[in-house]
Amino acid sequence: MSPAEPPHARAPVPDRLSRGAPRAVLAALPGARAVGGCVRDALAGRPIADVDIGVPLPPDAVAPLLRAAGLRVFDTGLAHGTLTAVLDREPVEVTSLRRDVATDGRHAVVEWTTDWREDAARRDFTINAMSLDADGGLWDWFGGRADLAAGRVRFVGEPEVRLAEDYLRALRFFRFQARYGRGEPDAGALRAIAAAVPHMARLSAERVWSECKRILATEGAAGAVRLMQRTGVLAAVLPAVAPARLPGLAAAVDTGMPAEPILRLAALLPPDPALAERLAEALRLSNEERGMLRLLLAGEAPAPAPSDGWLRRWLAGLPDTAAALAAAWLAQARDGQDRTELRRRLASLARPVFPLQGRDVLALGVPPGPAVGRLLQAVRDWWLAGGCVAGTKDCMDELERRMKLGE
């Protein structure tokens, strides 16, 4: 197909393409078009997160044109034909049209092309294979617009071929099905994904978790996980998940559980602190993710209506109120008991902070050593037992009393 092929249809030009960096990039590069997710979301009436631009020029011809138009240019993937153009701190990813020369299920060797259809044919799903120019010309070789309107997620071409090019596309299918799909998923896609499960072990843990996070953050997370179980993908990538916990997750999501991937993952796992460490290693979780998963799997599950004293003691042992709210959601997902009132109470409570430190003990003449820690812990236990309401003066009085008793 020639780059001069006329548009297949017209579509409204989203505001994001009519201003700022996207507009400047489209104006600077002859024949450039918006591609992929930003076109899909514009047609779906959804907010556009990132703008990606395709261009029928090789990368070495793209950068000079962008710089001449006043944009800063950064090499963010030159081997794959990708540059990032920045104007007024707004980044736009610009990629030369490509054809695959060879693939191994994880990576592709590419070369540049001027054929838009050829570039679109290497994309994963029809809804991601459309392109839109600055004047509203829409190119849609594979029926992506109709699929988007009907809630169909279909691979471009044969599902087996698309998956063999990159097996991560199996997980991407579940994410897009959860976000855009309606009704029964494409049967051919599910068969191909089930057949591809043995190959998923070749994917890196980082790529798997990156995609699983996005799946768990969707409104249709529970349905996506069910589909993953149905095809055998769940056991391949998240074997620790207990499918019996899916109804609890679904109910919690329906009632407003935050789209926090670690929280939703914890809702699918048994309360086993050791499991948190094993998963953190297997999925290469960040330190922050590891800490939150450890906290959720090891923490207490609060009852729907504990006393204020219990809540203060519990909050005092957590890093922040957000962790308490997450634990409340997790408890609701596990036992099905509504905790709306509990979350309201938690949000209104200030997290208690024990008012003494080691220097307060040293200031009273206690020499450095184990005795400092023992005294401090004894007073903290007294403070906790009293509901965490004692202030600095009362805690100092208790410290002095214990010192006099020789504790």
Segment 351-406, tens digit of pLDDT: 999 999 999 999 999 999 999 999 999 999 999 999 999 999 999 999 999 998 87
- What's the pTM? 0.87
Q: What is the mean pLDDT of the chain?
A: 93
pLDDT of residue 1: 40
The better pLDDT of the pair 300, 27 is held by 27
Q: Average pLDDT for residues 170-198, to the nearest whole number? A: 97
Q: Is 315 buried (19+), middle (13-18) or exposed (0-12) by CB count in 10 A?
A: buried
For residue 14, what is the DSSP state?
Answer: P
Give yes or no for residue 102 having a pLDDT over 70: no
Nearest to 354 by CA among 382, 383, 375: 383
Q: What separation in angstroms does the CA of 396 have from each of 216, 302, 368? A: 47, 31, 18
Beta carbons within 8 Å of 347's beta carbon, 6+ residues apart = 321, 325
